[in-house]
């Protein structure tokens, strides 16, 4: 038998969905997120015949069904009971690390001077700090493929723009408060844009449209404008594969049975 787990709060959020929330605080927390991912895997393994989709977030797991189940409360109690007695074993699992090239040069670094001024940093220091962290992809949204990443170095935290832009270009890399992220599509947005990546995070014609997934580990590295154009050209021609930016390592982790 494994150790007792903190039970998630459960709420029926529609005729076909249940939300499970871990913890009452709003702080991004690695331990909480670990539980979120493990709970989502547990639900996937349970494989309810009406299961349609599982959506993990910072502190929540939303379970969607194909149609309204006859007994929502029974499903809630089933998942809570399974979670309470989930046993941890150590095994090897695949961990994806995504490397994202970013050009921090003008004209792609629209707001980098604002970040510099806010935090009393040089341009080189902003880039070094942004590239010096390995981020966890906590969730995907508000746009298809938009990764919410943590944890941003506190020395880079910068408030969102007072007036959001009507359009931010696809590939723009930004800082919003204590988070950083990448715009997968042209979109309105109020984050501080400090660079741009040549990679397509979302492409509906790819076999896997979403390049980044919740739970991935992500690291940025700087490239020149010339390198940006070369990567973009090769990807457009189809002579380069976006898969080369993914590394899969075997590591020892706690898993559940």
Distance, CA of 14 to CA of 52 (rounded, Å): 14
> What phi and psi, each to the nearest 5 degrees, are found at residue 21?
-115, 135
Burial class (CB in 10 A: 0-12, 13-18, 19+), 8: buried
DSSP lists the bridge partners of residue 55 as: 62
- Tens-place pLDDT, residues 164-173: 999 999 999 9
> What phi and psi, each to the nearest 5 degrees, are found at residue 65?
-115, 155
Pairing status of strand 135-140 against strand 246-256: unpaired
Which residue has 């993990």 as its token pair? 56
Q: Which domains does the chain have, with CATH numbers?
A: 9-86 (3.30.1360.40), 94-252 (2.40.100.10)
Distance, CA of 178 to CA of 28 (rounded, Å): 10
Q: Can you list the residues of the chain whose pLDDT is less than 70?
A: 1-5, 24-29, 87-95, 142, 239-240, 248-257
Is the bond preceding 114 in cis, omega lying within 30 degrees of 0? no
Is the bond preceding 169 in cis, omega lying within 30 degrees of 0? no
Q: What pLDDT, on a 0 to 100 scale, did the predictor assign at position 254?
A: 42
Q: What pLDDT, on a 0 to 100 scale, did the predictor assign at position 2?
A: 43
Taking CA 205 as the corner, what is the angle to CA 201 and CA 209, rounded to the nearest 5 degrees?
A: 40
Distance, CA of 122 to CA of 151 (rounded, Å): 21
60, 21 in Cβ contact below 8 A? yes
Q: What pLDDT, on a 0 to 100 scale, did the predictor assign at position 252?
A: 40
Q: What pLDDT, on a 0 to 100 scale, did the predictor assign at position 149?
A: 86
Distance, CA of 197 to CA of 64 (rounded, Å): 33
Predicted TM-score of the model (pTM):
0.70
182, 146 in Cβ contact below 8 A? yes
Distance, CA of 131 to CA of 152 (rounded, Å): 10
Is the bond preceding 54 in cis, omega lying within 30 degrees of 0? no
DSSP lists the bridge partners of residue 217 as: 97, 136
Distance, CA of 71 to CA of 69 (rounded, Å): 6
Distance, CA of 238 to CA of 232 (rounded, Å): 10
């Amino acid at each position: 038998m494994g150790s007792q787990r903190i039970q998630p709060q459960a709420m029926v959020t529609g005729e076909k969905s249940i939300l499970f929330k871990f913890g009452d605080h709003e702080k991004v927390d690695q331990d909480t997120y670990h539980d979120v991912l493990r709970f989502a895997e547990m639900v996937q393994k349970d494989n309810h015949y009406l299961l349609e989709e599982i959506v993990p977030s910072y502190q929540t797991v939303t379970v969607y069904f194909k149609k309204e189940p006859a007994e929502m409360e029974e499903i809630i109690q089933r998942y809570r009971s399974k979670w309470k007695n989930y046993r941890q074993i150590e095994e090897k699992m695949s961990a994806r690390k995504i490397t994202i090239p970013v050009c921090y040069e003008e004209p792609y670094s629209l707001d980098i001077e604002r970040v510099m001024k806010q935090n009393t940093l040089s341009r080189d220091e902003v880039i070094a700090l942004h590239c010096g962290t390995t981020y966890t992809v906590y969730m995907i949204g508000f746009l298809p493929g938009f990764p919410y990443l943590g944890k941003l170095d506190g020395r880079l935290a910068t408030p969102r723009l007072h007036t959001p832009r009507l359009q931010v270009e696809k590939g723009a890399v930004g800082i919003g408060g204590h988070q950083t992220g990448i715009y997968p599509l042209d979109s309105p947005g109020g984050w501080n844009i400090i660079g741009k990546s040549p990679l397509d995070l979302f492409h509906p014609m790819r076999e896997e449209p979403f390049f980044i997934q919740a739970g991935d580990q992500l690291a940025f590295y700087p490239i020149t404008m010339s390198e940006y154009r070369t990567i973009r050209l090769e990807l457009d021609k189809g002579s380069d594969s976006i898969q080369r930016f993914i590394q899969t390592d075997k590591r020892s982790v706690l898993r559940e049975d």
